[in-house]
């Protein structure tokens, strides 16, 4: 059987554009001689549709799209993802479903059983889990058709009570097909391949896995669709962070699986684990930073951020970005990424020196824009800042200079950036990093302003690694920007180290607390100072109110701030 995999980038709710892509994929698959073409999870409407699923009109448009696609299936089978209505009154009104269309009609529907409701996923809010499981026959082959999470119930502490493939294998399928919308994080690809290989070994079947690609606001999907044989060997692998089409012939793989010897679930998982898991990689705190800035991880983060920026602008209908250019590492990396994603002519840098800004900061920022060939302006905030101080003088009542005066500079810059953005139709890209957002080292309505956060899920040490990676072929970011001590330059001689621990130590603690959900006792037991751990965790928890007002963050880690990390603002725990 010849199967085509169509790895495509969809736009949530853009039914006409999604259908155009799917129809193009069908035509290309037909031209290549495919018997069946496979698309990804909820490709009809885009993933994740979230509360759009609560609108009947949205579901009707999904159904109309399915009807339109039936006409394209006279000679080729088509597997697509779309919601399906639940005819039973009890339970949710919808299923997350994989549809097999052929010869102008629906040949079979597989409902998703395992509905992730953690991190960025909220599927049980909308969907009913499957309550029956049946293989689907197509051209003499019996297909075990599943959706994304349905293959992920492995491990010592499985999240779900049942596994749909345990039911489907009883009906003696010839192969597994899984349609997916599996998001990127910088070490998720290893986990994903391990889980898929464990399934192939467990059930002794070849596996066709079609993942989506593209960015949907904060969530990046990296593609990497693949085909495995019944022994877990990768036969074909598709591109990452790009659309792709693959034709594979599984006749030999299906025949070879005829004498399969499935493994027990634990044995399959153990055999699939041919490398250390993510948790074991970083259990030694001294190795955390090295792991986080590993070049292979930084390379993937770089691609994800470029895709996140490009898709956000394209799907929102914007073309140009504006960025505050301070001459610091965060704004430099943000500008460089934006220029690569959007073209330098579409990235406008605004330098806004104050009386506390050093000459080298402006010079570094000018040199950066010169290297990138992007337009820039220099607008001093001194007059604006002093006017605000004079207006506030009667209220401030000659109290000593402090945080209010520092933040007033940042808010002056935020106002100028947003005014220019409004005037010319730009999107303001925020430059805050994850270390700053975690500890509250930022000013609401000032340097925390923006329509999209580029670096909000990358720790400071990863930002430095990104800068070095951007410079891997030639000097783009001036070396002085990378080498100088970071500073907000809101008071004379200010450095980040005045307010925060050294970033290598800070990021180590933050990673253990945020990504790995380790408590203070566990982190202290790793040999880190007790008072320092308590201070850092308290900063994280007491600044939740700031992050709650922040813009969307491009997600590149396993636990990003935003929709994937839901913490109460008014709380006492560890505060």
Distance CA 114, CA 488 (A): 46
Asked if 79 and 110 touch (Cβ cutoff 8 Å), the reply is no
548 lies in some domain: no
Q: Where are the alpha helices (DSSP H) in 247-284?
A: 251-256, 265-272, 278-281
Distance CA 368, CA 374 (A): 9
347 lies in some domain: yes
One domain, residues 254 and 328: no
Longest dimension (CA), the chain: 87
**Given this model, what pLDDT does residue 486 score?**
80
300 lies in some domain: yes
Distance CA 380, CA 7 (A): 48
128 lies in some domain: yes
**Given this model, what pLDDT does residue 276 score?**
39
Based on the structure, what is the number of domains in the chain? Answer: 2
Please choose, from the candidates 180, 197, 175, the residue with its C-alpha nearest in 3D space to the C-alpha of residue 80. Answer: 180
373 lies in some domain: yes
| N-terminal to C-terminal alpha carbon distance within the chain | 59
One domain, residues 7 and 150: yes
Distance CA 39, CA 25 (A): 9
Asked if 254 and 175 touch (Cβ cutoff 8 Å), the reply is yes
Asked if 4 and 238 touch (Cβ cutoff 8 Å), the reply is no
Residue 400 belongs to domain with CATH number: 3.40.50.620
Please choose, from the candidates 489, 538, 527, 485, the residue with its C-alpha nearest in 3D space to the C-alpha of residue 505. Answer: 527
| Strand ranges (E), 187-326 | 207-211, 213-216, 219-222, 226-228, 234-237, 244-249, 321-324
One domain, residues 304 and 239: no
**Given this model, what pLDDT does residue 497 score?**
75
Distance CA 506, CA 176 (A): 45
H or E element at residue 336: helix 329-342
Distance CA 45, CA 11 (A): 7
| Strand ranges (E), 431-564 | 452-453
Please choose, from the candidates 409, 173, 392, 434, the residue with its C-alpha nearest in 3D space to the C-alpha of residue 301. Answer: 434
Distance CA 309, CA 510 (A): 25
One domain, residues 211 and 122: yes
Distance CA 358, CA 364 (A): 10
One domain, residues 350 and 450: yes
567 lies in some domain: no
DSSP, res 320 = -
Of 459, 474, 496, which marks where a domain is finished?
496
One domain, residues 386 and 357: yes
Tokens of 127: 């969907």
203 lies in some domain: yes
One domain, residues 239 and 328: no
Q: Is 449 helix (H, G, I), strand (E, B) or coil?
A: coil
pTM value is 0.95
One domain, residues 147 and 204: yes
DSSP, res 128 = P
Query: Dihedral of the CA atoms 400, 402, 404, 407 (nearest 10)?
Result: 150
One domain, residues 161 and 140: yes
Q: Which residues form the domain of 301?
A: 287-496
Please choose, from the candidates 353, 276, 283, 245, the residue with its C-alpha nearest in 3D space to the C-alpha of residue 2. Answer: 245
**Given this model, what pLDDT does residue 261 score?**
66
Distance CA 135, CA 329 (A): 54
**Given this model, what pLDDT does residue 269 score?**
60
- Dihedral sign for Cα atoms in the order 501, 507, 510, 516: negative
One domain, residues 265 and 303: no
Task: Provide the annotated active-site residues.
Answer: 41, 112, 148
Asked if 478 and 522 touch (Cβ cutoff 8 Å), the reply is no
DSSP, res 259 = G
Residue 290: CB atoms within 10 A of its CB come to 12
Backbone angles phi, psi at 331, to 5 degrees: -70, -35
H or E element at residue 395: helix 382-396
Query: Dihedral of the CA atoms 480, 483, 486, 491 (nearest 10)?
Result: -50
Asked if 437 and 508 touch (Cβ cutoff 8 Å), the reply is no
Residue 66 belongs to domain with CATH number: 3.60.110.10
550 lies in some domain: no
Distance CA 102, CA 84 (A): 17
Estimate to the nearest angstrom the gap between the alpha carbon of 101 and the chain centroid. 31
Tokens of 107: 């040949």
Of 470, 496, 522, which marks where a domain is finished?
496
**Given this model, what pLDDT does residue 274 score?**
46
One domain, residues 324 and 227: no
**Given this model, what pLDDT does residue 29 score?**
98
One domain, residues 259 and 296: no
Backbone angles phi, psi at 84, to 5 degrees: -130, 140
Please list the rounded mean pLDDT of every run of 10 residues in the chain (575 residues).
97 98 98 98 98 98 98 97 97 98 98 97 97 97 98 89 96 97 88 94 97 98 97 96 97 84 64 48 70 94 98 98 97 98 98 85 95 97 95 95 93 97 98 97 96 98 98 97 82 76 93 95 94 96 97 97 94 88
């Amino acid at each position: 059987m010849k199967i085509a995999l169509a790895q495509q980038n969809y736009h949530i709710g853009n039914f006409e554009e999604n259908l155009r892509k799917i129809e193009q994929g069908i035509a290309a698959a037909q031209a290549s001689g495919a018997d069946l073409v496979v698309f990804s999870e909820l490709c009809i409407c885009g993933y994740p549709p979230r509360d759009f699923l609560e609108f009947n009109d949205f579901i009707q448009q999904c159904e109309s799209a399915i009807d339109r696609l039936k006409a394209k299936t006279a000679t080729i089978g088509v597997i697509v993802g779309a919601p399906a209505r639940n005819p039973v009154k009890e339970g949710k009104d919808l299923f997350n479903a994989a549809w097999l269309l052929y010869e102008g009609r629906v040949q079979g529907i597989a409902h998703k059983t395992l509905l992730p409701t953690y991190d960025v996923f909220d599927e049980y809010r909308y969907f009913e889990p499957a309550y029956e499981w049946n293989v689907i026959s197509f051209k003499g082959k019996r297909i075990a058709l599943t959706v994304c999470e349905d293959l992920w119930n492995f491990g010592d502490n499985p999240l779900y009570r049942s596994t749909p493939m345990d039911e489907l294998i009883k009906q003696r399928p010839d192969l597994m097909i899984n349609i997916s919308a599996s998001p990127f994080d910088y070490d998720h690809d290893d986990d994903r391949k391990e889980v898929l290989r464990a399934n192939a070994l467990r059930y002794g079947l070849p596996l066709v896995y079609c993942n989506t690609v593209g960015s949907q606001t904060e969530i990046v999907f990296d593609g990497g669709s693949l085909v495995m044989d019944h022994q877990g060997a990768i036969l074909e692998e598709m591109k990452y962070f790009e659309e792709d089409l693959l034709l594979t012939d599984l006749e030999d793989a299906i025949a070879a699986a005829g004498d399969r010897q499935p493994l027990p679930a634990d044995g399959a998982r153990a055999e699939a684990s041919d490398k250390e898991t993510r948790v074991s990689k970083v259990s030694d705190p001294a190795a955390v930073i090295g792991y986080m800035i590993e070049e292979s991880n930084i390379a993937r983060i770089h691609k994800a951020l470029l895709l996140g920026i490009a898709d956000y602008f394209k799907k929102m209908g914007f073309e140009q970005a504006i960025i505050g250019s301070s001459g610091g590492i965060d704004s430099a990396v943000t500008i460089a990424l934006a220029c690569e994603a959007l073209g330098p002519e579409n990235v406008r840098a605004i330098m806004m020196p104050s009386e506390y800004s050093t000459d080298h900061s402006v010079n570094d920022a000018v040199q950066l824009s010169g290297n990138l060939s992007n337009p820039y302006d220099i607008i001093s905030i001194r007059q604006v800042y002093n006017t605000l101080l004079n207006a506030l003088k009667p209220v401030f009542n000659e109290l000593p200079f402090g945080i209010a005066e520092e933040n007033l500079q940042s808010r002056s810059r935020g106002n100028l950036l947003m005014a220019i953005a409004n005037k010319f139709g730009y999107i303001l890209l925020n430059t805050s990093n994850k270390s700053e957002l975690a500890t509250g080292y930022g000013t609401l309505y000032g340097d925390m302003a923006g329509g999209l956060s580029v670096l909000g899920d990358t720790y400071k040490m990863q930002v430095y690694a990104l800068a070095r990676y951007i410079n891997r072929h030639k000097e783009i970011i001036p070396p002085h920007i990378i080498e100088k001590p970071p500073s907000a330059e809101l008071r004379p001689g200010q450095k980040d180290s005045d307010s925060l621990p050294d970033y290598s130590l800070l990021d180590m603690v933050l990673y253990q607390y945020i990504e790995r959900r380790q408590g203070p006792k566990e982190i202290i037991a790793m040999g880190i100072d007790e008072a320092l751990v308590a201070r850092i965790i308290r900063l994280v928890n007491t600044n939740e109110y700031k992050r709650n007002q922040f813009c969307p963050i491009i997600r590149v880690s396993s636990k990003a701030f935003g929709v994937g990390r839901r913490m109460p603002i008014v709380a006492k725990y560890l505060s």
